[in-house]
Structure formats: structure tokens, C-alpha cells
Structure 1
Amino acid sequence: MPEKPIFTKIMQIGLVVKDCDATVRKYADQYGIGPWSIYEFNPSTVSNMIIEGKPVQYSMRLALADIGGVQWELIEPKDDISIYAQFLKENGEGLHHVAFDTENYEKTVQFYQDRGLPILQGGTWEGMTYTYLDSRKDLGVIAEIYKLTPDFKWPEPVAVYPNP
């Protein structure tokens, strides 16, 4: 048993959706949740893309909003190869992952590797490395963790809804 908890805080709830923009409008217009910052993740914006340890290029459109101090993420796969596309095909829209803060990114990855639990997907975007860890059998959900550069700043989104 670890001396300290592996995860220290819930950072994000991630859902996979068929249409990011339509879902953003529903959250904002019908539930008052927002504003939403919308981003494009693809080979021109993300480096070091991997799926199951192998270099693979994938794409998605995503939207981020804060709900009570927890970031909500809506992800629309733009291909048929990412773990988001696989999830959508197998499960339909719904809860995909929970992103957790960790005391130490490398130790958390090692913790998973020592247990034979794979890294499902990852990449580096604007100085933030994101890694999806397969904890579905143990925790019932995919865990995502981040490694941020000290100077990480959120870039300007490609769109915001509702428009300020």
C-alpha cells in the first residue's frame, strides 16, 4: 500500500460527445454552465502523441468549463483511432475519464507500470503533458494525469461560448 494517496485532488471530469459545439450550447443555454473555452487538439497543436505506447496521430475538438472548482471537459473525436473514438463506438456518449492531481507525475506513471496497468494515450500540448492511465478494472474509470511546465499558461481558445 502506498505511503500517501496516489491522487491528491480531482481536477477534471471528461465526457466524450458526438458533437462538441451542440453539447456546449446545451450545457450553457439549458443549464447555465459556462463559459466554455474550445480548443482543437491535432498533430499541429499536440506533440509526442501516443496510443498504447506507440506514436499515433489523432485529433479531437474539446471544450472546457469550470463547475464548482472542477473543470468539465467535453471531447469530440475527429478520427476513428483515439481512445475517445473507441469509447464513443463502444459506449456512446458519457463519462470517459477523471483527471487527478498527483504529488509526482513520474512516480504515478511508475506506480501504474509496476502494476502492469498501461498508458492508454497521451501527448504534450502547450507545455502540458497529459497521460491517460488504464484504471478501469481497479477504479472503474480511466485516470488522467498532467505534467506541467513551470511557465504553463492556457492559450487563447479557438472559440468561446457563450461569446462574451
Structure 2
Amino acid sequence: MRLPELFHIGWVVRDCAAAQEELSRRLGAGPFRSAGDESRFDQALVYGKPTPFSLKIAFGVLGGVLIELLEPLDDRSPHAEFLAERGEGMHHLAYLVDDFDDRLAAARGSDLLIDGTGPGNPVRWVYLDGNATRGTVVELLERTPAAETLFGDFLALTGG
């Protein structure tokens, strides 16, 4: 599966505000824009089972690349599991794709870590388990006018 240009790198952190401050101070990252105090994912399936979870999310720029900071707000998400097992760090590579249905069909051979294609999601998205990609989770987001609107402020951070 040939992927388009990278949309963002997802980074799991213990404290979103502290990570923004440290990345800004140490590496010159920023500016950052928050997705709000809490992003709730009530319609997501985690390994095929309904599993609502919440995250604090912020997007920023690091060396011209959009990064997404993800702070788990409960213990139900794969992000919380990642944090408990590995600590803070890079969690996934994300791509906005035009041909989402075709890519999802091709990816069905892989385990879906998170399935965010349900009717309650403003943008259809999935996390592909990292077993097929040497441990790195791949996120596919459907590129639609709604996605462009939702992610427009974050895309503007990189001029994209």
C-alpha cells in the first residue's frame, strides 16, 4: 500500500501542556493548538469492541512536521496502554487519504487497533496495528471537506 505525504506524527505523552512547553523550549517546536480540554471517542471500536475513551490532544510543528500530542485521560485507550508499557514516545504515523474505502479494504488483512468509521465520527479513521509495520501504528483518515474543515487550523500550522 503506497501512502500519500505524511499528515502528522502521533506522540503519546503523560501531560500535554508540559510536553508542549518542553518541546518548545528544547527543540523550538510550535506553535501548538489544542483540540480542547477533552476529546471523547464514544463510537470507536478498539480491537473490534466498543470502547469509549478520552484524550487531550494538541497539534504543533516540529522541524516542519505536524505532530499530534496525545494525553490519555483514562485507561481504556491504546494510547494509555502504550504509555504504561513503553512510556512517552512516537505512537503512530498518520495519513489523510482520498481513497479511504479502498485502503481500508486492502488493510483488512491487518488487525485494526482502533476503528473510527462508525456513524458518530465526524471523519472516518482507523489505526492499523503496528505488527505489520515493524511496530509502528499507521493511522488512516478519510480526506473529505469535513476533514479539511476539522483539521484546517492544524494543517495551516505547516502551511499545508
Q: Into which bin does the TM-score normalised by the smaller protein fall?
A: 0.7 to 0.9
Task: Give, in whole Å, the separation in 2 of the partners of 1:146 and 1:90.
Answer: 26
Gaps of 5+ in 2: 154-160
1:47, distance to aligned residue in structure 2 (A): 5.1
Task: Give the RMSD, CA atoms, in angstroms.
Answer: 2.4
Choose from 126, 140, 145 the match for 1:131.
126
- Secondary structure of the corresponding residue to residue 80 of structure 1: coil
Task: Give, in whole Å, the separation in 1 of the partners of 2:152 and 2:103.
Answer: 30
Indicate the structure with greater helix content: 2
- Secondary structure of the corresponding residue to residue 145 of structure 2: coil
Q: After the TM superposition, which residues 1-164 of structure 1 pair with which residues of structure 2 at under 5 Å, given as runs?
A: 5-39=1-35, 40-42=38-40, 46=41, 48-113=43-108, 115=109, 117-123=110-116, 127-152=122-147, 153-154=149-150
Aligned residues: 148
1:118, distance to aligned residue in structure 2 (A): 1.4
- Secondary structure of the corresponding residue to residue 7 of structure 2: strand
Task: Give, in whole Å, the separation in 2 of the partners of 1:28 and 1:49.
Answer: 32
Task: Give, in whole Å, the separation in 1 of the partners of 2:15 and 2:39.
Answer: 15
Indicate the structure with greater strand content: 1
What TM-score results when the alignment is normalised by the length of structure 2? 0.80
Asked if the contact 2:95/2:139 (under 8 Å) is kept, the reply is: yes
| Greater Cα radius of gyration, structure 1 or 2 | 1
What TM-score results when the alignment is normalised by the length of structure 1? 0.78
Gap change, CA 1:156 and 1:41, over 3 Å in 2 = farther
Residues 79-129 of structure 1: per-residue CA shift (max 9 Å, x gap): 11100001011111111000124341111111111x2x1111143787322
Asked if the contact 1:49/1:56 (under 8 Å) is kept, the reply is: yes
- One-letter code aligned to 1:41: S
Q: Which has the higher contact order (CA 8 A, sep 6+)?
A: 1
